[in-house]
């Protein structure tokens, strides 16, 4: 097995396989979310309660602080329903786009094409998707929670934040993309010399 892990060809095949499996898993999650949300009955919506402390008494002796809850709402209007659906689907769609990009990279690397336009597009797309998702996903989640809470006449301001880990991962991938762009330029410049 150690020999297989050191084989670049095997690593690229694993990269393609992992990307394909992530896309298939993503399709399963999308179907699950569509089945749960589209009927607009008992739609589960996560609500962040971090800034609104709630103590929960367990067994009459122990207590815990609740930081997140899931409320179920029915009969959402068209816009809130669309926001709740988008908030549920966007993390999976983001993962699927990045997985497709990595599968494409694995395919290109397997063929020996490292500094090609396809690789640059895949890396740039994955980086942009991660950085955009880092801000859009939390925004949609807050909007969905506020829409769901408004249907039960509860209102409190939820903080809007950026997913720092996802943003940094996208930024780091963008730096790798820049390095690939420089490598492609260097490869083009040196092709006539050899």
Q: What percent of the chain clears pLDDT 90, i.e. is strictly above it?
A: 46
Quote the pTM value.
Answer: 0.82
| Alpha-carbon separation of residue 18 from 27, 101, 107, 165 (angstroms) | 14, 11, 12, 21
Nearby residues of 84 by Cβ (< 8 Å), 6 or more positions away: 37, 43, 45, 76, 144, 147, 148
161-182 pLDDT tens trace:
899 999 999 999 999 999 888 8
pLDDT at 144: 92
pLDDT at 1: 46
The H or E element that residue 76 is part of is none
pLDDT at 6: 61
Query: Residue ranges of the chain with pLDDT lower than 50?
Result: 1-2
């Amino acid at each position: 097995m150690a020999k297989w892990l050191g084989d670049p060809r095997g690593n690229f095949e694993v990269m393609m396989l992992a990307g394909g499996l992530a896309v298939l898993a993503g399709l399963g999650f999308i179907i699950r979310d569509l089945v749960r949300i589209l009927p607009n009955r008992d739609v589960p919506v996560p609500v962040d309660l971090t800034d609104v402390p709630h103590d929960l008494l367990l067994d009459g002796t122990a207590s815990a602080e609740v930081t997140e809850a899931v409320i179920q709402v029915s009969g959402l209007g068209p816009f809130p329903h669309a926001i709740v659906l988008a908030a549920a689907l966007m993390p999976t769609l983001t993962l699927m786009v990045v997985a497709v990009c990595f599968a494409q990279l694995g395919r290109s690397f397997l063929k020996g094409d490292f500094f090609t336009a396809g690789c640059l597009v895949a890396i740039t797309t994955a980086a942009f998707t991660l950085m955009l998702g880092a801000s859009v996903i939390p925004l949609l989640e807050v909007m969905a929670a506020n829409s769901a809470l408004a249907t039960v006449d509860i209102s409190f301001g939820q903080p809007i934040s950026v997913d720092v880990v996802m943003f940094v991962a996208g930024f780091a991938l963008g730096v790798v993309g820049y390095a690939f762009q420089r490598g492609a330029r260097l490869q083009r410049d040196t092709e006539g010399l050899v």
